[in-house]
Every structure is written in structure tokens, then in C-alpha cells.
Structure 1
Amino acid sequence: YLYGGIYPIQSQSVDNLGQALSIVFDIANPEMARSIISKTPYTPYGISSVYPQMPDIKPYHNDAVWPFVQAYWNIAAAKAGNILALNKGLAALYRAAAFFGTNKELFVASNGDYRGTAVNSDSQLWSAAGNAAMIFRIIMGMTFEPDGIRFAPVVPPSFTGEKTLTNLKYRNATLNVKVTGTGDRIKSFTINGENNDDHFLKGNVKGNIEILITMADNTIKPQEINSQPQAWMPATPIVDWIGYKGEIRNYSPGISYGLTVNSTFLDQITTPVATFIPDENYSLMDIVPVLKETWSGFSCKPFEYIPAGSLTVVNADKIGKTGTSFIKDKDKASRFIELSPQKNTDVTFKVNVDSGGDYLLDVRYANGEGPINTENKCAIRMLYINGQEAGAIVMPQRGIDEWLSTGFSNMLRIKLKEGVNELSLRHEIDNMNGTVNTALLQYVRIIRQ
């Protein structure tokens, strides 16, 4: 995945839910799918949500196995035909459920224990659903389609004996499904005693339905599995900038630092000082730590260079009526416009530029509706330029009641015409919360490219 703003860089860590979904939804072709499942590092207690891990961060998404992520990985492994990865993935789920006596939200990837995580819970629905899916979608091989159910079981050789699923309510029918044998090829398939070579149950069936699937006990050609101990990436750099020189405060000998400007890799340094060389263009410089040429960490916040004369700032008082009850100091409150589902749902203002062309736009805002690491109260507004939709402005919460803590939204690439342009921020999109969608707008930045 890419991160870092308007000039993104590629993360060198892996997101294993994203990888699994790319296989499940056929984004990865079969060769890619086999490569992903066989080469991705697989930690001892299951597939980590990400790999490698961030240092000094408690297990949650970091250093964690999420049963529902493991379930998607197992479905992807079955689809890719990697029976070793599937067997290990099923074992990871059943071990956790057996030892914990419940479907935990997650557990620590490096030691297999549910204790020590930032947050956790029993009887977590997505974990239970993931566990149930192993029966429905893998052992029974059921794919639910608009016109019925298609069956294609994948049964590892360790799962011998008879597997039964009884009293399954499906539309106007009750299903009892029995799978015998192992492998990924069906030897025989009957519905109420009648052979069915399509391995498909029509959706208009009624009453009690008995399905018997006999597997061919075929040997599935083993693929590789990349079992690895847990690994940690180097720490994200903390950089103090004075002018165009940045000192890496947490510099560590043995770690090199990759320098990237506007998505292009420039150089690698082994000293605690990075230097940015300005030119006439807006630029972002990322500093990525690399440990022993093996594990790359995350970049610090990019250094931002704005050439003289290219920045236009439109303050809140030029956009609309200022003031908010979220800030008690009236003088400070007058620096903001309150954007909520009830107030200023459509603010429109004008910007005059000397030349038409490509620009960048973001907003400085505050959102004190919740903490930075959880909840769902990110404020979202659609930006319109001269009546045309230009993209979404995203303003995540920055801390509980932190209405004076400001930061920048995402940045959009926009086009402006020479002279006067009309810009609008409109409340047209619901967030996950559905009710709370509030931010305080301090100013809008427009940067000529």
C-alpha cells in the first residue's frame, strides 16, 4: 500500500488482510495468489495482521493475530491450493478457541497469548464468524451464489473421518451436509440420493435436503510456506528540522535511512543528519529507516517545502460565520468555522489566482470528538470547485475535547481557472458514526504546482 500524502511512497511492510482479500476477490491472478501465500512470512501462532511489527507499540493490529484475518487468509490459501498454509491456519484458529474457551478478538502473534493486548474481548462476532466460515466455506466448500450454493470442499489430509453440518436453514429448505474423505477433488456428490455432477444446489429447493460429498482422497501437491519468527521494523525517525537540515533524534548506528523526494528515491544515509535541497517546486521529503538492508520501517512525517509565492491561505473569517461553543475563549473560537450536520453544511467562498492550472488544497482543522486511535467520528466534506466535485476532505479526530489541537486534512490535487474560482465544502457523506460528523475549520491552503 501507499502512504505519505500527495506524493506517496510504498510501504515495505505487508497488510495480510489486504493480501488475502486480493486473492478472494480475484485481484491477484492465480500465480500471484500462490506467490503471496507461499512467500509471506508466517509467524508461529498464525498470520500476523502486518509484518514486520512496529517497535514499542502494544499488540492490537501490531504483533497480533486476528481470527477473522486468519479466516480470510485460510480461504485465500485454499483458493491458492496451498494445503500446508491452510492446515497451519486452521490449527491457529482451533488452538486459540480451544485454549481460550471463547472466540477472542485477537491474540499476540509473538507468543500466542490473548493477554497483553491493548484491547480485547470475548465472544467477538467477527472471530466467531471467521471460525464458522472455516466449516461453511472450506470443509464444506460452500459458495453462496444468487441462484444457489456451489460446493468445492478443500479438506486437509489431517482432517480425516466424517464431517457433518446439520439443520442448516437455507431459504425454504433445511440442509444436512456430510463430507467424507480428504483432498480438493470430489469423487461423488449426491442430493437426496441422486448424483449431481455440477456440485450445485439450486436456490429454489424446499424441505429437508441431504447432501453427501465423498472426496477423492487425492494428494494435493504441497507448496512452500514461509514460517518465520516474529520480526520488528526499526523505529520511525523523530526528526527536528532547522532550515533544510533535519537531525534524526532517535538515530541508531546500524540503521540506514532512505531519502525520498516526491515519491522518488534519492539516496541512503548512515548519519543522523538529512539535507533537503530546494528547487522551484512544492516537495515532500520522506525519511525511511532500514535495518540491516532487511526490514524497512515507516517514514516520519514528510518534510514539506513550499516555494515562496506559491501559497494562498484563506482564513475562516473569509469563508463564513466564525465562532463555536466547543471553545470557551471567544477570541480563539472566532478563528474557526464550526462544520457539523446541523451547522454550515455548505460553506462557499471565492479564491482569486493569477494563473490557471494545477494546484494542491488542504484545510487546517480541529476535531475533538474522540481519540486518535479508535472510534469513528472522522469528519468528511466534499469539495466542489466551480460547481464540479473535486474530492473528499477527510478530517480525523485528534483527541477527546482537543478543539484547539489543529492539523491538516488530506491533500487534493485540483485545477483552478485564472481569476475568481468558487469553492464549496458540503456535508454530503456520512462517516461510520452516522451522527457525529463535526470539525472546526481554521483555514484553507492552496498551493500552486
Structure 2
Amino acid sequence: MLSLVMTAVLAAGAAGDTWHDQLSWHDEQARMTVAANGGFTLSGPFGHRDIGPQTMRVDTASTLFNGLFAMAQDDLKQDSVTAISDGAFDHGQPIPCTCFETGVKWPYVWTRDLSYSVDLGLWKIDPLRARNGLRFKLSDVRDASLPQGLYVMQDTGSGGSWPISTDRVVWFLAAQHLLDDKAFADDVYRAVVDTLDQDRLYTFDPDMGLYRGETSFLDWREQTYPAWTADNVAFIAQSFALSTNVLHYEALQLAARLAEAHGDKAKMKSYADKAAALKTAINARFWRADRGMYMSYIGGDGTPYDTYDLLGTALAITGGVADGDRARQALAHYPTWPAGSPVIWPERPDQPIYHNRAIWPFVSAYALRAARTVNDPARIEHELRSIMRGAALSGSNMENYELATQATHVDEGKLSGPVVDSPRQLWSVAAYLDAVSEGVFGLTQEGKVEPKLPVALMPMLFGDRDSITLQMPDRRITLRRPRTLHGDLLVAGKTTQHGDETIVTLKAIDTPSAPLRTDTPLYAPQPPAAPVITADDKGWRVEVDGKAVLYADGQRMGRIDGNTYISQGATPPCVSATRVGEQGVESLHSPIVCAGEPTRLTEGWPREWKVPVSGRYRIALSYENNHGPINTGVTAAVKMLVMHCDGSAAQRVPIVMPHSVGEQQSTYGTVTVKAGATCHFALEQGFNMSDLSHFAHFTGGKGGSDGPLNDARMGDLLIAPAAGTP
């Protein structure tokens, strides 16, 4: 059985593979030797790489471990530049910036890449470049007719960027470490207030208590979302992602701390209350008790999706959203393979290798942090070895690896990959450095030394030595071997300080950690075709092709075979279906089909509607947005639909119209109305990324150097009854 083989491989690695000078993997070897100049030479499948002496160094029993730490610093030197460039900005001409570039194939600064890299410790190593890069991703507004402010930029992306992608708030995860510079701290406070207020207006759903938008970093939608979103990303804009909501939670907490520091107690309480409510909503909406895991994303109506991602899971644990037993369960139940942990699970059998069937070292580093949070020595060791192995066999800190082989390319025809891979990828470099400084030596973000070192790593790191050392420019950390090793995790026993040296004598403890989960199927089944729904005298008849699981209006209705009925009430249902595979793993959902026909208002603005029945209604627009391709750009059209009904308070619904293929339906909002009321609808101009001054440098599409563009060809206003209460 595959699970038995995987368990044996993992056990062999834990028990006997010391990796002192070399490691072997799939008939390939990497070997590290010490050079005469105090540097190192790494030899492997890639050839040879000479690594000079570095500012920081580690002294352990493993020359391989020591040399790979030096290689990560050498990679970081090459990523430390004075100018950046990208073909879509300033026609590819160099842009002065004393900052970090993203990698060999990505010589630019991207919001999420830089932010995760800085949070993974680059703020300590080069705060100047970290701040400069973060400042580069701030912008004011170039359209004087719009509300002014200082905003974090969402880079070009799915459907024309924000608010389809909404993880720009990851910027605050990085910026919080660099507040010792007053001018920068002032910018951070202004930006967190303006950015969060804007996100609250356009992406927050008060019924669900969550922020809408795409999963953070997993932005190649065909790899992780249903195939039918390839040409229609309105579903993604309507949906909710675990990772992006956790990032908003972190940003709200930072806003509360900064408001308190500025003496604004009312604002502090407001942000703190919003953060607490968001944490509650995340745990209520994303936790899947039958899996003991947090779902990666859910539909706009709350429909559960049997899909999971490691970054979202790790962030929920390290950010304090997942507490106690849930944190331990979420990590313990997340599957892994001998080479490392996949960034998504289950995988997609019809997609090439990139996010699908892949290990990303920066995500592994966050998983390592999560494992430290819950005291899981097996996972700490597993993620550390994965990060080391990939770097050693590749001769650089690569962007990603194929899951089973940890190769940088596997030839499988149209499924080959990783489709794109880059040496010295910045967040992979940061991941290695963090795996050493925090993962092994226990240097936390707050500057404390709190080692949590698996006993299984003692043969590799200590050998027959009494101590190991991390030497940094301003401090030295020494870990001393404990007298006894009765336990599975080494933590601080006695800590002493001698000048700039922290000396920690370790002690072994037993932890209640679970074994690595290696028994899950690799793939989810393929989803069924869209259900067919019709009305007859028995109710709403739903037909599917074969056996499936039926969902209606966000709720799991149960398994069906061929057809079933849903009671015909006042609200026509919206349905989708999944297939069930090995171990009960469900596919992604089929396309969503809604019964009945919406009311269509076709006149010019304002438009008028007489309410037939009291209740909740979904409001959307048919539209066409041909201002850019589906996968990139900054011209998602964003409007605010304002509804007044017979003098009652106005209800406001943000409408997002992503780049489209022909005519499609926008995102929807939900309103509550009374029978007999006459309602008038008007449109107000919204906001998109093309409105930011920074995108005047964008030359890769519309809405850039030719001026802001936030518009679409709008058709009918669509009104349909909405089911129940979320």
C-alpha cells in the first residue's frame, strides 16, 4: 500500500538520515564541502555552486545545514538590487528601488511575495530594503473625483485585480515589524485605516461576517477553483477564502494596536471588535468538523467546498484564529508526502503542476511555524527537511517543486511542471533563513529565544557535539545539548545571557502530537456536469448524471442518484453537485444552476421596481467587461448600487464586474424589502486599482498610463428571491 511505503520513507528519514555532509533522494545526491576561504561548495544534480563566506553563520555538526544557510544568504545578496523591472510597467525600463526583487524570473516587487518574505524574517536582515519595497506598494489616488487616501496596492490579477483578489492586506503582516521608523509607522497607520475602510465598503459581507475574494497566493484559478471559473471569475469575487480572511483579521488587530498608540480609544475598540467578530465568523464558516480542518474557500452563499490549503491553515494557527484543539487538529489532519507538504489538497488530476501537486518552500516555512505553535515535533522536522532537501538538490532556493519527487520539472505531457519555477525566489530564500533562525534556534519575531527542536534532529545538528550556534551581526545564540533525551521535543531549560550571547540549555519533553498523515488519496474526483432543474407539480425536480451529492442555497442536501425533488416554496433554489471519491473525498462543485427567471429591469438609470412579495432578494447586473484578459489587469469594474424604497433607509450593494468573456452576470448583493414598496435603483461610481497613482506606470494594459478606467457595458438589472437567512 502507498501509505505504508510513505510511512516507511518518513520513518527512515527521521531515524537514520543524518545529512552531515550529503543527502540522497530518488537516486540523486547533494554534497556540501567546506572551502579554503571559509565558504562552501555544493555539488548536486545541477552541477557545482561555490558559496562565499557570509555575514551570518551557523556552527553545527552538519556541513550541509551550515552551507545551505550560507547559500540562502548568497541568494538574498543577488535579490538585493537598486533597480527593478517588469514588462508591464514603464515598458520594461528599470525603476530605481533599493529593495528586494522577487527572483531570477520575477525582477520586480509584488505585494504578496514581498510581504510574506518580510514577515518570514527579512525585516530583521535588511530593514531598509524591506521598508523601501513596502513603500513601493503604497499609493495615493490619481482620480481627484474619488475619495482620497493612502492604499496598499493589489497587483494585477484575476478578472482585473481587486476586489476579485483581496489579499493586499498581507502588506500589514510585514509592515508591523518595521514600526520603529516614525515616518514609516505614520504611513502604516494611515494605510491600514484607509485600506480596511475601503475593503469594508466593497468586500465585506455583513450577513456572512466575512471578506470576499480569492485565496491568497493561489491565484491561478484553474488550479484551485472549479474549471468553469476559467472564463468567469464572478464566483471567485463572490466567494470567501480562509487565508484572505485571516489576513484581514491580522490587519484589524494591527489597526487596533496603532489606534491605541495614537490615543484613539473609540477607533481602537471598533477595530478590536471587528477583529473578534471576524475570528468568530471564520471559525463558524470555514471549520469542517467531519474533516477536522479549515476549508480553503466557501461559496458566496456559504456552500462548503471539500478543498484545503496549507498556507491558510498555517496562518489561521500562527495568527491565533485557530485555538487549542482546533489548531492541533487542523495541522495534524493536513496530509503530507515523503518530500513535503502540498500547498493544496486534494490535487486536481486535470491540471499541470504549479500550485497543484506542488511544494512551495515559503508555505512549508509557515507550516513549520504552525508546527512550533502546537508543539508538533514530527511536523517541524518534516517541513525543515523538505526545505533543506529542495535547496540542496537544486543549488538554489527555488520557487516550487513537484510533490512526489521534489523535482523542479517532471515531464508528463500537458500536465508537466512546475510550469514556472525560478531560482533564488525571494520568499523561498526567506523561508530557508527563517527555518534556521526560528525553526531551529527559536529566535521569535519578538526577539525571544524559544527553541522547539525535535529530538529526531539531534543526530544531524549536534552529532557528538555539546552545542550548536547561530552567529548574527548583533547577537549570538547557543543551544546546549540536554543531559538526557527522554522525550521527543527539545525546549528551553535554562537560559543565560552573556553580553550579546544567549545560551540555552535544552531539555526534552514529551508532546501529545499526532503522527504525520500519509494515508489520504492524492486526487479528488472530477465534478459532474451542471444539474438540470425544472418545476412540476411535485416541486423542483433536480437531475444529475449518476450518483452525486446535491447542494442547494449553501446547504448540503445529501446524496442522490439521478434525480430528486426539492420542495417548491417561495424561493427558487440555486443548486450544484459534487462527486464522491476515495475515502469520501468530494470533487469541486459543478456549475451552479438557479431555478426560475429573475425579474429584469432594462430601462436607463435610475430604474424602478414594485416589490411583489416581502423578503430578501439578490440583486445583480448583466454586463460585459472587455477591458482586459481574464487572468490579469487592473480594470475590474466596481460600482455601488443604491436602492431607495418608499422613503426607507437606502440599501447599498457593491457590484463587481470582472473582465469577462462576452456577457456575464456580476456579483450580487442581498437586500430586504416589503411587499408593495416602490424601489428606485441608482449607480454610483466605485473604485478599482486603476484609480491609484502607482498604476500610471502600468503599460501592460488598459487603466494604466492611458488613465484610470472603471467601467463596463451594463445590461439588465437582475432581481431574484434569495433563500433564508445566512
Q: TM-score range by the shorter chain?
A: 0.7 to 0.9
How far 1:397 moved relative to its partner? 2.9
CA deviation after TM superposition for structure 1 residue 284, in Å:
0.6
- Looking at structure 1, the residues matched to 422 and 377 of structure 2 have their Cα atoms a distance apart, in angstroms, of 31
Q: Which amino acid aligns with 2:657?
A: M
Check whether the contact 2:534–2:595 (CA below 8 A) recurs between aligned residues.
no
Matched, 1:187 2:487: no
Partner of 2:322: 28
What does residue range 225-240 of structure 1 map to in structure 2 within 5 Å?
225-228=516-519, 231-239=522-530
CA pair 441-143 structure 1, distance change in 2 beyond 3 A: farther
The letter of the residue matching 1:352 is: W
- Partners in 2 of 1:303 and 1:287 — Cα distance? 10
- Name the SS of the counterpart of 1:358 in structure 2: strand
Q: Does 2:404 match 1:110? A: yes
Residue 659 of structure 2 corresponds to residue 397 of structure 1: yes
CA contact (8 A) 1:6 1:411 kept: no
Residue 217 of structure 1: how far off its partner (Å): 4.3
Deviations 1:315-372 (A, max 9, x none): 4x613xxxxxxxxxxxxxxxxxxxxxxxxxxxxx343333564221122233344443
Is 1:427 the counterpart of 2:700? The answer is no
Measure, in 1, the Cα distance between the counterparts of 2:481 and 2:555: 54
Structure 1 CA distance for aligned equivalents of residues 309 and 422 of structure 2: 23
The aligned residue for residue 437 of structure 2 is: 136
Residue 264 and residue 229 in structure 1: after superposition, are their counterparts in 2 closer, same or farther (change >3 A)? closer
| Closer, same or farther: CA 80–432 of 1 in aligned 2, 3 Å | farther
Which one has the bigger strand percentage? 1
User: C-alpha separation between the residues in 2 aligned to 1:432 and 1:75?
Assistant: 37
> 1:206 is matched with which residue?
none
Q: Are residue 446 (structure 1) and residue 446 (structure 2) matched?
A: no
- 2:573 is aligned with 1:283: yes
2:604 to 318, 322, 326: 318
1:198 counterpart residue number: none
| Contact 1:367–1:438 (Cα < 8 Å) also in 2 | no
Counterpart among 472, 478, 484 of residue 178 in structure 1: 478
Q: Does 2:373 correspond to 1:79? A: yes
Residues 423, 143 of structure 1: CA spacing in aligned structure 2 closer, same or farther, 3 A cutoff?
farther
Structure with the higher helix share, 1 or 2: 2
Separation in structure 1 between the aligned mates of residue 690 and residue 361 of structure 2, nearest angstrom: 26
Alignment of 1:228-377 (within 5 A): 228=519, 231-239=522-530, 241=532, 243=534, 256-271=547-562, 278-292=568-582, 294-306=584-596, 311-315=598-602, 318-319=604-605, 349-354=606-611, 357-373=615-631
Q: Residues 408 and 222 (structure 1 numbering): CA distance in 2 closer, same or farther, change over 3 Å?
A: same
Whole-angstrom CA distance in 1 between matches of 2:542 and 2:718: 24
- Do the aligned partners of residues 155 and 109 (structure 1) sit closer, same or farther apart at CA in structure 2, a change above 3 Å counting? same
Q: CA deviation at 1:57?
A: 0.6
Q: For 1:151, which of 449, 474, 484 is the aligned residue?
A: 449
Q: Secondary structure at the match of 1:9?
A: coil
Task: Tell me, in whole angstroms, the C-alpha distance in 1 between the residues paired with 2:570 and 2:510.
Answer: 63
One-letter identity of the residue aligned with 1:131: Y
Q: 1:407 maps to which residue?
A: 664
Q: Which moved more, 1:5-14 or 1:114-123?
A: 5-14
1:283 offset after TM fit, Å? 1.5
Q: Quote the offset at 1:107 in angstroms.
A: 1.3
Contact 1:23–1:33, Cα closer than 8 Å, also in 2: yes
User: Which residues of structure 1 form unaligned runs of 5+?
Assistant: 169-173, 194-208, 320-348
Task: Measure, in 2, the Cα distance between the counterparts of 1:393 and 1:123.
Answer: 40
Cα shift at 1:153: 1.2
Contact kept, 8 Å, 2:384 with 2:439, in 1: the verdict is no
Q: C-alpha deviations, 1:81-116, integer Å up to 9, x for none?
A: 110111011111111111111122111113322211
Q: How does 1:195-206 map to 2 (within 5 A)?
A: none
Query: d(CA) in 2 for partners of 1:429 and 1:352?
Result: 29
Deviation, structure 1 residue 55: 1.7
Aligned residues: 382
Verify the 8 A CA contact 2:359 2:403 in the aligned structure 1. yes
1:6 offset after TM fit, Å? Answer: 4.4
Deviations 1:236-267 (A, max 9, x none): 2223748567776xx67xxx311122223334
Higher relative contact order (CA closer than 8 Å, sequence separation 6+): 2
- Stretches of structure 2 that go unaligned for 5 or more consecutive residues are 1-285, 287-294, 410-416, 483-488, 536-540, 696-702, 704-708
Checking the alignment, whether the CA contact within 8 Å between 1:140 and 1:151 is kept in structure 2 is yes
TM-aligned CA distance change 1:242 to 1:389, over 3 Å: closer
Mapped contact 2:635–2:689 kept (Cα < 8 A)? no
Is the Cα contact below 8 Å between 1:233 and 1:295 reproduced in 2? yes
More deviation, 84-93/427-436: 427-436
- TM-score, normalised to structure 1, is 0.75
Say whether the 8 Å CA contact 1:6–1:412 is kept in structure 2: no
| Percentage of matched positions with identical amino acids | 21
Distance 2:560 2:347 in 1: 23
Which of 451, 457, 469 is the equivalent residue of 1:164?
469
Conserved 8 A contact 1:379-1:431:
no
Q: Look up the SS of the partner of 2:406 in the other structure.
A: coil
- How many angstroms apart in 1 are the aligned matches of 2:498 and 2:659? 57
Shift of 1:125: 1.1
The separation in 1 between residues aligned to 2:496 and 2:476, in whole angstroms, is: 12
Separation of aligned partners in 2, 1:132 and 1:378: 37
Q: Is the 8 A contact 1:260 1:266 kept in 2?
A: yes
Change (3 A) 1:389 1:88: farther
Q: Hey, what does 2:173 align to over in structure 1?
A: none
TM-score normalised to structure 2 length: 0.48
1:110/1:230 contact within 8 Å kept: no
Q: 1:391 to 1:76 in 2, by over 3 A?
A: farther
Given the superposition, is the C-alpha separation of residues 137 and 4 from structure 1 closer, same or farther in structure 2, using an over 3 Å criterion?
closer
Secondary structure of the residue aligned to 2:434 is: helix
Residue identity in the other structure for 1:427: G
Amino acid at match of 2:552: V
For 1:270 and 1:432, how far apart are their aligned partners in 2?
50
SS of 1:150 mapped into structure 2: coil
CA gap of 1:223–1:179, structure 2 versus 1, over 3 A, is same
Distance 1:423 1:135, change over 3 A: farther
In structure 2, relative to structure 1, the CA distance for the partners of 1:27 and 1:415 (3 Å cut) is same
Q: Deviations over 1:164-183 (max 9, x none)?
A: 33334xxxxx2233333374
Rounded Cα–Cα distance in structure 1 between residues aligned with 2:318 and 2:358: 22
CA-to-partner distance for each residue in 1:256-288, whole Å, 9 max, x for gaps?
Answer: 3111222233342344x6777754313111111
Query: Do the aligned partners of residues 241 and 4 (structure 1) sit closer, same or farther apart at CA in structure 2, a change above 3 Å counting?
Result: farther
